[in-house]
Every structure is written in C-alpha cells, then in structure tokens.
C-alpha cells in the first residue's frame, strides 16, 4: 500500500489564556494537551489553537517565552500536517514579544 501523500495544513485560530480556552468549545482540546505535556492548567497561561484545515480537528499548544516554533512544527510533522506560513509568522512574532 502506497504511503499517503496528502498533507493537511494547520491554521492558527487564536491565542487565548487557559481560562478563556476552558470556557469555550476548546476546553477538551486544552485538557488533552495539558495531559500530553504533563502540565498543570493555570488560568493565566496562554495557548495557541490551530484548526487542521478541512477537518473538525484542533490542536492546542502552550505558548510562553520558552515556546519553540520548530518543536511545534515537528509535532505537526508527526501528524502529517504543515503549519500555514502566515500562522507561523504570527506565532513567531508573538513568542518574540514574550521574550522582551
């Protein structure tokens, strides 16, 4: 059987505080990512929420000044997903601002 060539694209929907995300339809996605990352949920932490284009799938990543865009892209790669260029640029700028 041939390997699937189709690559999905992830688009940044929003960057929210954990508190905002937990009060939205993204609640379960945030909880899943926290479990994967073995991370305690704190209201003030920020998460980036991505939609996998033309699916009902969402991915959430915690964003802080230690966030690494390359690690996020690696995670997407494992899922056969590419990060949309504009979303990547927005996220890079956001992380850079956190470091100031």
pLDDT of 47 reads: 98
pTM here is 0.89
CATH code, domain with 71:
3.30.160
For residue 80, is it within any domain?
yes
* pLDDT tens sequence across 39-71: 999 999 999 999 999 989 999 999 998 899 999
For residue 20, is it within any domain?
yes
**pLDDT of 3 above 60:** no
Confidence of residue 93 (pLDDT cuts 50, 70, 90): very high
Mean pLDDT of 80-87: 96
Number of structural domains found in the chain: 1
44-47 long-range contacts, CB within 8 A, separation 24+: 44/17, 44/18, 44/19, 45/17, 45/18, 46/15, 46/16, 46/17, 46/18, 47/15, 47/16, 47/17, 47/18, 47/21
* pLDDT tens sequence across 5-31: 568 999 999 999 999 999 999 999 999
For 23, the domain range is: 8-99
pLDDT of 5 reads: 57
């Amino acid at each position: 059987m041939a390997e699937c060539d189709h690559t999905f694209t992830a688009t940044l929907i929003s960057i929210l505080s954990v508190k905002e995300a937990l009060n939205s339809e993204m609640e379960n996605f945030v909880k899943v990512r926290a479990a994967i990352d073995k991370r305690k949920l704190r209201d003030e932490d920020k998460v980036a929420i991505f939609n996998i284009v033309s699916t009902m799938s969402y991915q959430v990543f915690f964003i802080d000044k230690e966030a690494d865009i390359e690690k996020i892209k690696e995670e997407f790669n494992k899922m056969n997903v590419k990060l949309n260029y504009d979303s990547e640029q927005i996220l890079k700028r956001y992380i850079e601002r956190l470091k100031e």
